[in-house]
């Protein structure tokens, strides 16, 4: 965590289709930023991929902070752009601009992880004068994720969630998707290789941070500032096992469940049925077979100022 000069030149990349998007809220943050002396430019996305392109082409000489105004999907696009997607893996771009966040999404897991404020004035103060957390990121088959990746039960929920329900009910869409998935037990077993050992699991959550799907916890020791994942392996995938796992998550008891194994690693491979979906930060990123590793690049993320 480091202190820096106040950010004065701010580019806000806003997704107007985010789950909790409210124009008045964005305007309140923008006005608060300007009262703090910042020069603010707001750009709205019109399609998937816009946020990534806008962040990728931001000039480090003219922008102090790029702010993602949206949900975890928007943040993921902005982060991919900031890291210079399209460069060969292993080539670290110079002048990566720090990331700020205005949480406007359905679950806002990264905002919860960073304990960001919700008040517009407090958000603005954080963006301008907050501390910066040097954060490690994950790559799943080369695709960047920030908080977590998963396959099995949760990835199937993400794959099948209704965009219509998500837009109009927010988290309710995931609740309904979870209920539907409970009655579609899957006997697929994945082979997970890490730290020289082979494990078998019905579902896998790869935590880069400790919060999951909001403020639930499956990987309690995972932290953005640490260059290591905590991997949560669920041994069973029956309807009953899935129901037990869901209730354990709601009660914060996943790490102590029988049939759950927690392992720390910086790289893992997963094999199983080809085409099985893999989610990252609440969006489908890729499919099996899968290679997950800590990215070589790091990113400074603006957090609340700690005195």
Band of pLDDT at residue 92, cut at 50, 70 and 90: very low
Report residue 197 as tokens: 């050992």
Intervals of CATH 3.40.50.10330 along the chain = 9-137+298-303
Distance, in Å, from the CA atom of 295 to the CA atom of 298, rounded to the nearest integer, reads 7
180, with CB counted inside 10 A (0-12, 13-18, 19+), is: middle
Q: What is the mean pLDDT of the chain?
A: 90
| 216 pLDDT more than 90 | yes
Angle at 142 between CA 197 and CA 95, to 5 degrees: 120
169, with CB counted inside 10 A (0-12, 13-18, 19+), is: middle
Angle at 290 between CA 288 and CA 292, to 5 degrees: 150
pLDDT score for 86: 45
Packing angle between helix 239-250 and helix 171-182, nearest 10 degrees?
150
Intervals of CATH 2.60.200.40 along the chain = 143-294
For residue 275, CA distances in Å to 28, 58, 210, 235, 296 come to 44, 35, 27, 20, 27
The class of domain 143-294 in CATH terms is mainly beta
Distance, in Å, from the CA atom of 33 to the CA atom of 39, rounded to the nearest integer, reads 8
Q: Which tens digit of pLDDT belongs to each residue from 17-68? A: 877 788 999 999 999 999 999 999 999 999 999 999 999 999 888 999 999 9
Report residue 58 as tokens: 């931001």
Using DSSP's 3-state secondary structure scheme, residue 40 falls into strand
Which pTM value belongs to this model?
0.92
Report residue 133 as tokens: 């957390």
Rg over CA atoms, the chain: 19
Q: Which tens digit of pLDDT belongs to each residue from 219-275? A: 999 999 999 999 999 999 988 999 999 999 999 999 999 999 999 999 999 999 888
pLDDT score for 102: 96
Q: Which tens digit of pLDDT belongs to each residue from 239-253? A: 899 999 999 999 999
Angle at 224 between CA 79 and CA 169, to 5 degrees: 65
The class of domain 9-137+298-303 in CATH terms is alpha beta
| 88 pLDDT more than 50 | no
């Amino acid at each position: 965590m480091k202190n820096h000069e106040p950010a004065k030149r701010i580019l806000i990349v806003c997704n107007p289709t985010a789950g909790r998007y409210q124009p008045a809220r964005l305007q309140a943050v923008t006005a608060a930023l300007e009262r703090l002396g910042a020069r603010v430019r707001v750009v709205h996305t019109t399609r998937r991929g816009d946020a990534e392109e806008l962040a990728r082409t931001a000039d480090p000489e003219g922008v102090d902070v790029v702010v993602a105004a949206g949900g975890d999907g928007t943040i993921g696009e902005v982060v991919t752009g900031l890291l210079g997607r399209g460069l060969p893996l292993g080539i670290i771009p110079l002048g990566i601009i720090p990331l700020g966040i205005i949480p406007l999404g359905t679950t806002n897991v990264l905002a919860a992880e960073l304990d960001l404020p919700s008040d517009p004035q407090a958000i603005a103060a954080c963006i301008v004068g907050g501390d910066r957390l040097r954060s490690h990121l994950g790559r799943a088959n080369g695709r960047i994720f920030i908080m977590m990746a998963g396959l099995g039960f949760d990835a199937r929920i993400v794959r099948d969630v209704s965009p219509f329900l998500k837009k109009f009910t927010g988290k309710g869409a995931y609740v309904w998707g979870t209920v539907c998935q409970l009655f579609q037990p899957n006997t697929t077993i994945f082979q997970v290789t890490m730290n020289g050992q082979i494990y078998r699991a019905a579902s896998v959550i790869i935590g880069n941070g400790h919060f999951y799907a909001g403020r639930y916890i499956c990987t309690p020791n995972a932290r953005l500032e640490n260059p290591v994942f905590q991997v949560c392996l669920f041994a069973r995938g029956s309807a009953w096992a899935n129901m037990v796992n869901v209730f354990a998550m709601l009660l914060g008891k996943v790490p102590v469940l029988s049939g759950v194994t927690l392992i720390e690693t910086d790289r893992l491979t997963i094999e199983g049925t080809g085409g099985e979906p893999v989610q990252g930060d609440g969006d489908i990123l890729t499919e099996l077979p899968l290679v997950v590793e800590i990215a070589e690049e790091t990113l400074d993320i603006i957090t609340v100022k700690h005195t």
